[in-house]
Amino acid sequence: MIRFDNVTKRFPDGTEALKGISLAFPAHQLTAIIGPSGCGKTTLMKMINKLEKPTEGEIYIDEEPITGLEEVKLRRSIGYVIQRIGLMPHMTIADNVSMVPKLLGWPKDKTEARARELLSLVGLEPDTYWSRYPLELSGGQQQRVGVVRALAGDPNIILMDEPFSALDPISREQLQDELRNLQQEIQKTIVFVTHDMDEALKIADRIIVLRAGQVEQIGTPQELVAEPANDFVRDFIGTERINRQRAFGEKKLKEFVFQFDAEWSGDAQKIDSSASIEEAARQLEASPHSRLAITEGGHVVAYAAERDLLKAALQKDRGTSN
């Protein structure tokens, strides 16, 4: 877990980017930080790997203060994905992905096995892309390699700074889906900075809404849409999303089975596909499990997490993404 304890960041010109921030990023969850430009979201994220340092307060990783941690060692233990990807153009995909494992002193066979495994996970066939260079790949493919590189050293924490914002809408949608599916498998602690509310609602387990260096609200996507803390959060989410959320009860699970996950290895709460999304959301909230197992004729046909229900509720019509 990452924890901020009364953290303030004041720049030399007197600007307070963060003002007494106290919050926690739960382990094994994807937390999105969102807010208007200049609200402090990127500064907040960069403090986790000491690219920015607090003026006041302390940051903890697994209850150990990071103040005394050696910067290079800390950064090698954290994955980092940025908007402009940052791949080395003169290095092959294999060499780009293998950079951190090599710095960590991994043996060659372990490094190659890890790189091949991760490339396969994001849909890049290793034998096809292994010896290619970044400029031979599309923007979406390059960003996939960027994600793989961040995961290669098997870090517990991954920082993602608006990683998909420069992509075309189709590539962006695909990578959001891939990240969500990948996170279900790897279960890392991911801090994801975005300016796009739809993106945050789609991929996040929890969302932190910032304004002018202060936290306005922290909650699950469903909590933010259902119960915005104040007018700023309500306006930032948008009345259209909130109004559509109120129509939960008019939609049935069976309308969205085709877009939910077909497999899940953990325990799940069973619910019939004839139930409404509103009913499903209430049942999942009361359940000890993180997924619903949706059944038809007594057989499980799909699995849905809270964010899957929210995404379905936010769709204007069946099969049409917001």
Pair (164, 82) in one structural domain = yes
Q: Which amino acid is at 99?
A: M
Long-range contacts from 49-54, C-beta under 8 angstroms, 24+ separation: 49/74, 49/75, 49/78, 49/80, 49/159, 50/74, 50/75, 52/9, 54/7, 54/8, 54/9, 54/18
What average pLDDT is seen over the chain? Answer: 87
Q: Which residue has the tokens 């953990």?
A: 266
Range of the domain at 12: 2-240
* Beta bridge pairs of residue 135: none
More confident site: 181 or 249: 181
Q: In this model, does residue 193 exceed pLDDT 50?
A: yes
CATH code for position 281 = 3.10.580.10
**CATH number assigned to the domain comprising residue 101:** 3.40.50.300
Which residue among 189, 209, 240 closes a domain? 240
**Calpha distance 265→163 (Å, rounded):** 28
Output the pLDDT for position 109. 92
The answer to the question of residue 6 being in a domain is yes
Considering only 1-15, 39-53, 298-312, which range has the smallest mean pLDDT? 298-312
> What pTM value is reported for the model?
0.76
Average pLDDT over residues 244-255: 70
Task: Please check the confidence at residue 166 and state whether its pLDDT lies above 80.
Answer: no
Collapse the DSSP code of 63 into the 3-class scheme (helix H, G, I; strand E, B; otherwise coil) and give the result.
coil
| Same-domain check for residues 194 and 298 | no
Indicate whether 133 and 282 sit together in one domain: no
pLDDT at 140 over 70: yes
Q: What is the pLDDT of residue 247?
A: 58
